[in-house]
Chain A
Amino acid sequence: MLHVTLQQGGASINPNNVRLRINGSEVAVPEGTTILKAAALNGVEIPTLCEIEGLTPYGGCRLCIVEVSGTSKLFPACTTPAAQGMEVTTQSPKLYEYRKMVLQTLLAERTHICAVCVANEHCELQANANNHGVDHVMYERNWSCESIDSSHEFLVIDRNRCILCTRCIRVCDQIEGAHTLDLKFRSKSTNVIMDQDQNWGQAMSCTSCRKCAKVCPVGAIYIENENIEFTKDRDIAAFLSKRRRRSR
């Protein structure tokens, strides 16, 4: 109990803490904390897409990039641990431009047509694009023709909207324990697959738990005939992992 008080009330005096500056303010967090968490603990929000509370970080989308003084390299906040003496900047014109680029490459990579998408107005990619003033995509779009699988009783995947964030794969493996989902191939040909690249309806390991649909940030995985607004649940992984820790 005393230890907890020390961590929360007098964080800076815990010998296992690291001290760093985020946007000029000094903060102290336990060693091993990511920059993203350190920022969140101190009320600084960094935009994210692949990251989701309760699952291991992936570092794939690069929307959460931050500047660290002393190097021109940008770092993904969700996978970079906070280090002693670090000076982190989370908002700058440079970061803003890079984040806009990240969003535009995601929009250009596959066939995103919001007007006919199940996730229209409930999509994290769309919301981030809107908030960052991405009013057009400067890259020539790659009109993808990836497969759509609706062979499952009620789950559907439209790979043309998938941003390969792996949230579905991680929740299926780390929370549901099924590991039905995974990635195949690399680069442009990468895709989410079920079991040994079977149709979802034939994937024996799937428990039909719906968690993949709940965490998918876009309109790629959805439940047939269900309003996506009610399907999505960003907190499901954090909620379940917290509950399980408690019951152990």
Chain B
Amino acid sequence: MVVLVKHVPDTEARIAVAGGGRSISEEGINFVLNPYDEFAVEEALRLKERLGGQVTVVTLGPERAKEALRTALAMGADEAVHLRDDALEGGDALSVSVALARALKDIPFDLILCGKQAIDDDSCQVGPRVAELLGIPQVTVVTKLEVDAAARTARAQREMDGYSEVVETPLPALVSAQKGLNEPRFPSLPGIMKAKRKEIKTLNLASLGLDASQVGRAGQGAEVQALEVPSRARRGRILTSDPPAAAAELAALLRGEAKVL
């Protein structure tokens, strides 16, 4: 099994735009393993515990992204691969997928797991694009997964708006994890200490056999023109009138202003 992971700013990080106006400033920001990827790692570990096999985590990112790999190793993943090259940086979902798909050509797998989205740029594209590039089926936003190793199939449940859908797919396939799939374990202390000793395999542009024009900024399909911090923080509103009046006011606001009714 392969799990695709990303190192992202944690949800409490205060985001500021970096000089140049096209990326965020990393100063003072705490980065973590993307929460949806944690579900993916956990699911892979559970499958391994049930069915055997190996779990390899793969990331593309700067030097600090090793921490996301270490976290997954500490949870119990067996191997880690880091796609690390300045030429790979600054790209979009397209160019990242190209590099990941290339790396996956050399890693045997029956199943690829990933988070349904990375909580930093929320594109939800990397998983599906990797599956397309590899020519394998994909099931996204999965909340329940059953693998039949003998039949080489998987049944996945997807929570849709108001109903759920059960999909069966042959393996190998790519599955993206939604909240609810499982409760990720904490990495144990012995796991953390062991992770420190595990080797992280690094792949650069040359070892991937890719050309600089295909990846990173050069290989992207869409380009960020400008980033802006919202001018005013969204604020909650507290209705202070007595309960009947407040209820009426709330209903009016939900209908008129929030337009959710």
A binds B: no
Q: A residues within 8 Å of B by Cβ?
A: none
